[in-house]
């Protein structure tokens, strides 16, 4: 992968940040994407200094087509090519169905699903030119098992899995593989805010008896991004400690 370029959305912290660092360790130039410009630029600078790769920090809201267009324009301007896209940016706005507000539904679907659609649409244009690409979507175990309070989030992640398979079929002939990683319960800011009772219940459901780390998820993403993984497409790798088999 050395010398390639990876765009990782939502990569200033959490799973995205660890993934960006793992790419950088392998000599991959990284594009750090966050809604906050200073956070994106600071994170890109830190990674450049720590790992000695070229990096770019871009402010983009992945749910906005104009932002996503600019993101890819800036990436191509700096690196000429983009071989890897990780659609990682995601949010939760939990509520039981009866209380779920339209805005909560829209926010989650727009960022988690439409955001991945917009980024993938730009990515395939760039990747088709070099007849090579790796698109990796970060789904979730709840796409497969559901989760009370997450009607919006689980629908967005199930949509992402279906989208993964469709884009994999459409772009296989261009050398672009499209896969998903479905994390279980991973310790990040997203899960830190859950009540202790929910965390205890979750832990009981995990045969490996621990929550996952951002490193566990990044390892699977790196595997799918390798040139050697070119015969794997339209697949989901579950990283959940056995929570769902
Ligand atoms: P996180 O710590 O909350 O990080 C999410 C990142 O996405 C943040 O950097 C956030 O930026 C960014 N982001 C949010 N909205 C965005 C937007 N509109 N445009 C661009 N960036 C945006 O979350 P995480 O736990 O690492 O999760 C990463 C991915 O894994 C998500 O897709 C999540 O659904 C998925 N996942 C996580 C778990 C888990 O247990 N943690 C389990 C299954 C799946 P700000 O910092 O500016 O808000």
pLDDT digits (tens, 9 = 90+) for 147-166: 999 999 999 999 999 999 99
In whole angstroms, give the CA distance from residue 155 to residue 157.
5
Q: Catalytic positions, please?
A: 153
CA of 64 to the centre of ligand 1 (A): 16
- C-alpha to C-alpha distance for 15 and 186, rounded to whole angstroms: 9
CB-CB contact of 83 with 132 (8 Å): yes
3-state secondary structure of 177: strand
Could you give phi then psi for residue 209, rounded to 5 degrees?
55, 30
Domain ranges in the chain? 5-239
pLDDT of residue 192: 87
Going from the Cα of 208 to the center of ligand 1, the distance in angstroms, rounded, reads 24
* Chain centre to alpha carbon of residue 64: 17
pLDDT recorded at residue 168? 99
**How remote is the CA of residue 187 from the centroid of ligand 1, in Å?**
12
CATH for 5-239 (3.90.79.10, 3.40.630.40, 3.40.50.720, 3.90.1150.10): 3.40.50.720
Task: Round to whole Å and give the CA distance between 155 and 233.
Answer: 22
> What are the pocket residues of ligand 1 if the criterion is a CB atom closer than 6 Å to any ligand atom?
9-10, 12-16, 33-36, 60-63, 88-91, 111, 115, 138, 140, 183, 185-186, 188-191
CA 173–ligand 1 middle distance (angstroms): 31
Residues 164 and 139: beta-carbon distance below 8 Å: yes
Question: Which residue's CA is the nearest one to ligand 1's atom 29?
Answer: 88
What stretches of the chain adopt beta strand conformation (E)?
5-9, 29-34, 55-59, 84-87, 133-138, 176-183, 236-239
Ligand 1 atom 6: residue of nearest CA: 10
Report residues of the chain scoring pLDDT below 70: none
Atom of ligand 1 nearest to the CA of 183: 43
Q: Which atom of ligand 1 is nearest to the CA of 67?
A: 19
């Amino acid at each position: 992968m050395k010398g390639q370029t990876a765009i990782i959305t939502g990569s200033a912290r959490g799973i995205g940040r660890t993934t960006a660092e793992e790419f950088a360790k392998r000599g991959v130039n990284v594009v750090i994407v966050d809604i906050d410009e200073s956070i994106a630029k600071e994170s890109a600078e830190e990674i450049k200094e720590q790992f000695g790769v070229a990096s770019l920090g871009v402010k983009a809201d992945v749910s906005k087509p104009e932002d996503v267009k600019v993101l890819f324009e800036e990436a191509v301007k700096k690196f000429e090519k983009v071989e890897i896209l990780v659609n990682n940016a995601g949010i939760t706005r939990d509520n039981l169905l009866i209380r779920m507000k339209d805005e909560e539904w829209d926010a989650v679907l727009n960022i988690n699903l439409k955001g991945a659609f917009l980024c993938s649409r730009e990515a395939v244009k760039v990747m088709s030119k070099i007849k090579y690409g790796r698109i990796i979507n970060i789904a979730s175990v709840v796409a497969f098992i559901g989760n009370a309070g997450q009607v919006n989030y689980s629908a967005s992640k199930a949509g992402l899995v279906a989208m993964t398979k469709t884009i994999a079929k459409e772009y296989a002939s261009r050398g672009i593989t499209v896969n998903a990683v479905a994390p279980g319960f991973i310790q990040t800011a997203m899960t830190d805010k859950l009540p202790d009772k929910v965390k205890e219940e979750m832990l009981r459901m995990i045969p490996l008896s621990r929550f996952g780390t951002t490193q566990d998820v990044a390892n699977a993403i790196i595997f799918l991004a390798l040139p050697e993984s070119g015969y794997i497409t339209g697949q989901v790798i579950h990283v959940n400690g056995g929570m769902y088999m």
